[in-house]
Amino acid sequence: MFRLVGAPGLEPGIARSQSVNVNHYTTPRILKYTFLFSFSQFIDIMKLVDSKKILDQLNIFAQCKKYKVALWQCPQFLFLLMGIIIIGTVVISYTIGIHYIGDPVILALIVLGLTIILFIVAFIITRSFERLAEANRMKSEFIDIVSHQLRSPLTNLKWAIEILMSGELGKIEAQQTEYFKILKENIGRMEELVSDLLTVSRIETATLPLRGDKILLENLINHFLKEAEPFIKASNIEVKLKAEKNLPEIFADPFQIRLVLENLIDNAVHYVKNKGKVEMKLERRGNDIYFEIKDSGVGIPQEDQKYIFQKFFRAKNILRHQTQGSGLGLFIAKAIIKKSGGEIGFESEENKGSTFWFTLPIKS
Amino acid sequence: MFKCSYVYMKKILFIEDESALQRTFGDILRREGYEMISALDGEAGLKLAKTKKPDLILLDLVLPKVHGFEVLKELKKTPETKEIPVIVLTNLEEMGDVDKAVELGARTYLVKTQYSLEEIVAKIKKALGE
């Protein structure tokens, strides 16, 4: 990315150095070749990469706007500025230097002046990066504080409803029970969101704890399926697990891996419309355990596939008929699998279904 | 007559600054046949633990005046309270917090949002050896 931003920044500078030097010497050939070489290289890159993407990268104002900081605090802008200053100072020192070639003191002073300027610019850039890092840290901290603060009132609600629903404080009519169920379900959703936000904040601050423990994936899946049975039955979906016999245990964090399985199974069941099938496969592949979950659901549109593991992203076709969901599940799943030493991926076709898979090393 | 109605009710000290939770727990624990003593901050909690000698302590961590960890440390240092089982009941769930609580002598560490009241009552009964 930086190369693409930096390269065009160099072009005008080199071109300018040519016109400045013409008065004193003939244009050094090497500069000419450098210019031609980098230009042809640039054309090659342009051919290889989507040109619109490059133009987007070059639009420094838009890039800086993304960070929501002033131009003087934006690393991209400062980087370009540094490029121009470096080239400018080199050219100026060169022009002055060739007049005083016999005077080492002046040459030394020029080099010193150059170094000071570069040092100052580098310092400003470092500061701007620091500011960005600080903003990121504060954002994570904010998520952390808010999530913790939300948990107390949620607990109060949850337990108060539990008492009311138990019927000990008075008989509950059937219609009231329906409303209590809605309350309970929504509190559950908020709890999940808060917990997902906390996990995301930990992933981003690299403080997500992973505890190593021996686990059998098959047991973990079956355990979850048993818990989710009422929900799966209500969805009228057939869920199957085909596991290879005598699979070895893996060494990973059971709580986090369960979270990954929950997210993948939950997605598969959620996005199957009407009566459908969800098939899971568990097998050994070399030194890894391979897990696959295939659904006959709505699938992911081609243009959305590259964003599917990004946080808060939700595919367009899903938003049309299913508004629930935070878009955090797959982001969390990927982070956990990667941190556990595995790989995660998917294949999908819109209106046909998706297959998500992950691998986890048997020994890690 | 007095003798017949005398049943020893186990005392549970609940150190928690949220009065709504104090109320919810009060109802539940009374229903289960326990006597609940409530403390709204760490300092009051420590004082009540020493004077009332409860059979079990439920302890929140984020507390006014004295933090839950300090309360736990003090409880385990004092001869008359060090044998009382302590269940930490909080919404903090960093691994560091769990490790610290266990190291300081907590019997169990429960994250509030992850449990229903029924499950918490089961944990209380287990800690009381019932």
- Which chain A residue has the Cα nearest residue B18? A152
Look at residue A118 in the predicted model and tell me its pLDDT: 82
**What is the structure's pLDDT at A36?**
52
List helix spans (H) across chain A: 2-21, 29-48, 51-58, 60-67, 75-99, 104-166, 174-204, 217-227, 229-235, 254-270, 316-321, 329-339
What three-state secondary structure class fits A250?
Answer: strand
> For a pLDDT cut of 70, what percent of chain B falls above it?
95
Higher pLDDT, A65 or A31: A65
DSSP string covering A194-228, please?
Answer: HHHHHHHHHHHTT------EEE-HHHHHHHHHHHT
Q: Say what the pLDDT of residue A321 is.
A: 63
**ipTM of the complex model:** 0.81
C-beta atoms of A168 and B31 within 8 A: yes
pLDDT tens digits, one per residue of A203-237: 887 778 788 888 899 999 999 999 888 888 888 88
* Secondary structure element (H or E) that encloses residue B119, with its range: helix B117-127
Of B27, B95, B113, the CB nearest to A154: B113
Q: What is the pLDDT of residue A38?
A: 60
Judged by CB atoms closer than 8 Å, whether chains meet at B117 and A163 is answered as yes
Phi-psi region of A170 (alpha: psi -120 to 50; beta: other; left: phi over 0): left
Q: What residues of chain B lie within 8 A of the CB of A148, using their CB?
A: 91-92
Query: Nearest CA of chain B to the CA of A279: how many Å?
Result: 29
Handedness of CA A145, A149, A151, A152 (dihedral sign): positive
Residue type, A133: A
According to the model, what pLDDT value does residue A121 have?
81
Residue A72 host element (H or E): none
What are the phi and psi torsion angles at B91 (to 5°)? -110, 5
> Per-residue confidence at A6, pLDDT binned at 50, 70, 90?
very low
Q: Does residue A3 surpass a pLDDT of 80?
A: no
Which residues on B lie below 8 Å from A170 (Cβ)? none
| Interface with A, mutate which of B14, B111, B113 (most A CBs under 10 A) | B113
Among the partner residues B27, B28, B113, nearest to A155 by beta-carbon distance:
B113
Average pLDDT for residues A30-45, to the nearest whole number? 56
- Inter-chain contact A148–B20, Cβ cutoff 8 Å? no
List chain B residues with CB under 8 Å of A152: 18, 91, 112
Least confident of A19-33, A318-332, A336-350, B46-60: A19-33
Looking at residue A49, its pLDDT comes to 59
Asked if B92's CB is within 8 angstroms of A162's CB, the reply is: no
The confidence band for A24, taking pLDDT boundaries of 50, 70 and 90, is very low
Given an 8 Å threshold on Cβ–Cβ distance, is B116 in contact with A162?
yes
pLDDT in tens, A231-264: 888 888 889 999 999 899 998 999 899 999 999 9
Instruction: Give the residue on B whose Cα is nearest the Cα of A155.
Output: B113
Looking at A71-75, A131-135, B110-114, which range is the least confident one?
A: A71-75
pLDDT category of residue A26 using cuts at 50, 70 and 90: very low
Q: Please indicate whether residue A56 or residue A45 has the higher confidence score (pLDDT).
A: A56
Chain B residues near any Cβ of chain A (below 8 Å): 18, 20-21, 24, 27-28, 31, 91-95, 112-113, 116-118
* Residue B110, pLDDT score: 93
A33-37, A171-175, A206-210, B115-119: the lowest-pLDDT one: A33-37
**Per-residue model confidence as pLDDT tens digits over A254-307:** 989 999 999 999 888 888 877 788 999 999 999 999 999 999 888 889 888 988
* Helix (H), strand (E) at residue B115: none
- Tell me the per-residue pLDDT of A108-130, one tens digit each, with 9 for 90 and over: 888 888 888 888 888 888 888 88
**Which chain B residues are within 8 Å of A195, Cβ to Cβ?**
113
Beta-carbon contacts of A12 under 8 Å, excluding residues fewer than 6 positions away, are none
pLDDT at A148 over 60: yes
The residue of chain A nearest to residue B16, with distances taken between CA atoms, is A152
pLDDT value of position A72: 73
Q: Can you tell me which residue has the tokens 């079956």?
A: A222
Q: Do B91 and A152 touch (CB under 8 A)?
A: yes
Return the minimum-mean-pLDDT range out of A124-133, A153-162, B18-27, B82-91.
A124-133
- Of the CA atoms within 13 Å of residue A196, those in its CB half-sphere come to 20
Q: Which domains, and CATH codes, for chain B?
A: 8-127 (3.40.50.2300)
* pLDDT > 80? residue B46: yes
For the cut 80, the answer to whether the pLDDT of residue A9 exceeds it is no
* Chain A residue with the nearest C-alpha to that of B29: A163
User: What mean pLDDT is predicted for residues A164-190?
Assistant: 89
pLDDT digits (tens, 9 = 90+) for A343-352: 999 999 988 8
Q: What is the pLDDT of residue A16?
A: 35
B-chain CB neighbours of A163 within 8 Å are: 24, 27-28, 117
